[in-house]
Amino acid sequence: GKDRGKERADTIHQIQAQLPAEKPALHLRLPVCDSLGSCAVPHQVHAASRALSTGVIKPSLSLSFHSYDRLLRIRALRWEYGSVLPTTIRFHMCAEEMEWFNQYKKSLATYMRSIGGEEGLDITQDVKPPKSLYIEVRCLKDHGEFEIDDGTVILLKKNSQHFLPRWKCEQLIRQGVLEHVIS
Amino acid sequence: MDLQSYMPVPPGIRMEENFFSLDDILLSHERLPCRTESAFPRLGFLEKSSETRDIPEGTKMEMPLWLAKGLYERKRQVLSVELPKVYREEWRTVFGADPIVVDLHKMGPYYYGLGSQMLHFDSPENPEIANTILQTFIGRFRRTMDSSQNAYNEDTSALVERLDCLERSLFRAGQSGLNGFQLWEKGRSSHLTASSLVINYRKRKIADLQA
């Protein structure tokens, strides 16, 4: 099969290469709709103007697709990673995308507060059916100190293993800090 | 099964194209043989082989689907679009005889998608084209489904290489379901895993460092 990522990048480069360096001076208002059939525009001008307007819309489509796809991935990050994005990812986002992410976070939080009774319901948790309250985890990288509900502090050092409450670990497992060990 | 949180826009159904679907955007770059039914003044640059400033009426040229769709009008004579070989009568008989053996990936990776889009150009053969596409799909679907449900943990490249893009996405969906079921059978459906986005990002960072 084709490599999607490369194809996408190639498409964008093709489009960008074809866009004129300066904005073309379009003095005519370009008619796009079929109702023009009734008005007295010379046949050839009609054909040419349709070609031009199609040609102007198409490159902007590819660029807006790229922006839209980025937003879809940023939205996925809220679910996959959590509400605080690491600096490495933030570095690759523009200010508007960061703003969009914050708005999305807020909408999601408002929704979650509104369901499941007084305390709300965190639907980003328990994505897989839980089988036990506590799980065995191994630390994949150093993550410093970690406090659990009863006040105990655990040191998450690389390769250490712990028996911890499931709900505290879920996010760290998704982020690749901990590994769920099944014996 | 992994959390399905990145949901790209799927391709359009029937004769529609979805604006933000990558498959539909790539499909719209497929080139079609066309004939201009009117002159296109000052648009000579569209046809790479011509040296003239204008495109005269009656020129035969190739155009990408997006441009052909933008120019085509039912009531006015602007453009006529010819059917690509795969949708013409000779090939339609081949598909009718045995749809399973055809290499649909080679016949244009978007056989079903492009075929559906061709219906926009009001060819007199539209009913036959539509019927052939449908019957081809029906004829091949069973095999695609069977192979996707029975190929577990093995190299599937031989199975998918003759499939078009629509069939490949169906195959992937089938594999995804099969893998999820197998995980459940093994009792691993509650096994928490790292997010695939995180894993891919980490792989990319290492590749950057090595570059």
CB B112 within 8 A of CB B166: yes
Which of A123-132, B36-45, B132-141 has the least mean pLDDT? B36-45
Average pLDDT, chain A: 80
What are the two backbone dihedrals, phi and then psi, of residue B66, each rounded to the nearest 5 degrees? Answer: -65, -35
Cβ-count burial A158-176 (b if 16+ within 10 Å, e if not): eeeebebebebbbbbbbbb
Taking the Cβ of residue A11 and every Cβ of chain B, the question of whether any pair is shorter than 8 Å is answered with yes
What are the two backbone dihedrals, phi and then psi, of residue B20, each rounded to the nearest 5 degrees? Answer: -105, 20
Q: Each residue of A68-88: pLDDT tens digit?
A: 999 999 999 999 888 999 888
pLDDT bucket at A35, cuts 50 / 70 / 90: very low
Q: Which residue among B22, B70, B194 sits closest to A50, beta carbon to beta carbon? A: B70
Supply the pLDDT for residue A36.
44
CB B61 within 8 A of CB B36: yes
Chain A residues within 8 A of B70 when measuring between CB atoms: 50-51, 53-55, 57-58
CB B126 within 8 A of CB B152: no
In what helix (H) or strand (E) does residue B80 lie, and over which residues does it extend? strand B79-81
pLDDT bucket at A37, cuts 50 / 70 / 90: very low
Q: Do A129 and B75 touch (CB under 8 A)?
A: no
Instruction: Give me the interface pTM, i.e. the ipTM.
Output: 0.82
The alpha carbon of residue A100 is apart from the nearest alpha carbon of chain B, in Å, by 16
Q: What would the mean pLDDT of B52-57 be, rounded to a whole number?
A: 81
Chain B residues within 8 A of A51 when measuring between CB atoms: 40, 43, 46, 67, 70-71
Q: How many CB atoms lie within 10 A of CB B107?
A: 18
Supply the pLDDT for residue B189.
82
Chain B residues within 8 A of A46 when measuring between CB atoms: 76, 78
Q: Each residue of B58-86: pLDDT tens digit?
A: 888 888 999 898 888 887 788 899 999 99
- Residue A7 token pair: 């194809």
Supply the pLDDT for residue B172.
93
- Whether A40 has a pLDDT exceeding 70, the answer reads no
- Residue B99 token pair: 């749809």
Which of A3-12, A103-112, B161-170 has the least mean pLDDT? A3-12
Supply the pLDDT for residue A31.
42
Q: What would the mean pLDDT of B100-105 be, rounded to a whole number?
A: 92
pLDDT bucket at B128, cuts 50 / 70 / 90: very high
Checking B8-17 for CB contacts under 8 A at 24+ apart, the result is B8/A69, B8/A72, B9/A68, B11/B113, B11/B166, B14/B116, B15/B116, B15/B117, B15/B119, B15/B120, B17/B117
Supply the pLDDT for residue B175.
94
Q: Do A44 and B76 touch (CB under 8 A)?
A: no
Q: Do A75 and B190 touch (CB under 8 A)?
A: no
Which of A35-44, A82-91, B43-52, B172-181 has the least mean pLDDT? A35-44
CB B34 within 8 A of CB B62: yes
What are the two backbone dihedrals, phi and then psi, of residue A155, each rounded to the nearest 5 degrees? Answer: -100, 115
Q: Do B25 and A11 touch (CB under 8 A)?
A: yes
Q: Each residue of A119-178: pLDDT tens digit?
A: 899 999 888 888 899 999 999 999 988 888 888 899 999 999 999 999 889 999 999 899
Out of A23-32, B8-17, B195-204, the most confident range is B8-17
- Whether A38 has a pLDDT exceeding 50, the answer reads no
Percentage above 90 pLDDT, chain B: 49
Supply the pLDDT for residue A29.
40
- Residue B211 token pair: 């570059």
Instruction: Supply the DSSP string of B13-41, one letter for each residue.
Output: STT---TT-HHHHHHTT-EEEEEESS-BT
Handedness of CA B84, B86, B91, B97 (dihedral sign): negative
